Structure 1
Amino acid sequence: MGNPVVHFEIEGRDGETLRDFYSELFDWRIDADNPAKYGLVSRDDNLTADGVGIGGAVFEVPETPSTTWRGPTRAEGYGGHVTIFVEVDDVEAALAHAERLGGERLQGPDEVMGGLVMGKFRDPDGHLVGLVGSRRGA
């Protein structure tokens, strides 16, 4: 069985405008009530009748990115990206595997939000892809 897509991020220069846009466009309730204004889109609020859907986030490119981020920064004019996150058993192993296959590690592994481990890489064609550590058995 393959690894599932479990999260998305829409990151841009004006987080508030993006949150308003996607909230209106897709009727998403976006909760950005946190110090980073990381606007969470709840999976439970956005499911099909068959229970299909994933959660995500809409937010602003941070002034100071993670200490392990190796990509472009806001100060360099970086405008953001849309990223899918794939669940893996071991983020470090998946990042190393991506590098062996010709990808470029851009971030992580980093521990975020209560012990969740994530990372990001650029595929050989330049697409940004995120990884989230599995919580199976946690």
Structure 2
Amino acid sequence: MTNPVIHFEIGGRDLARMTAFYGELFGWNPQPAGPEYALVPPGADGAGVGGGLLQTSGDMPPYVTVYVAVDDLRAMLDRAAALGAKTVVTPTAIPGIGEFAMFADPDGNIIGLLHQQAEAAAS
């Protein structure tokens, strides 16, 4: 696969509730990564994709999305737009990780794009 899914994200209103729910349901062990975020590591055997749980705020609704690895965020957003998508988050830095962006596909599904820094991609 040229551009693999490398991260998932579940957003909801109560991070503690989500952490407890998914921990009990799937045996996940989310680790705090900030006041409103917890990282979900991939399976111990290396199977699966790691992800995150985000506490939403304000008018942001609960959601589920995936992040796809890309080399050039702007080029991929332009390509998606040419195919009928709309950018919903312009390229935004994530210190120590890289940068991300998000678009809504023609049906309204929100998809994340992630360009990792070389050091982050190697770990």
TM-score by length of 1: 0.78
Superposed CA offset, 1:108-133 (max 9, x none): 20011314110110000010100001
Shift of 1:2: 2.3
2-structure distance, mates of 1:56, 1:103: 24
Q: Which amino acid aligns with 1:125?
A: D
8 Å contact kept, 1:19–1:59: no
Superposed CA offset, 1:71-107 (max 9, x none): xxx2x3x322100000011111111111111101000
Partner of residue 48, structure 2: 53
Superposed CA offset, 1:23-59 (max 9, x none): 111111111252x33110112xx15x5x331110012
RMSD: 1.9
8 Å contact kept, 1:87–1:134: yes
8 Å contact kept, 2:97–2:117: no
Q: Which runs of 5+ in 1 are unaligned?
A: 63-73
8 Å contact kept, 1:90–1:134: no
Q: Which runs of 5+ in 2 are unaligned?
A: none
Secondary structure in 1 aligned to 2:17? helix
2-structure distance, mates of 1:135, 1:113: 9
The answer to whether residue 2 in structure 2 is matched with residue 20 in structure 1 is no
TM-score by length of 2: 0.86
Q: Which amino acid aligns with 1:41?
A: V
CA 4–31 in structure 1, closer or farther in 2 if over 3 Å, else same: same
8 Å contact kept, 2:9–2:65: yes
Detail structure 1 runs of 4+ shifted over 3 Å in the superposition: 134-138
> Number of paired residues?
120
Q: Which amino acid aligns with 2:13?
A: R
Shift of 1:135: 4.3
Partner of residue 106, structure 1: 88
The answer to whether residue 36 in structure 2 is matched with residue 37 in structure 1 is yes
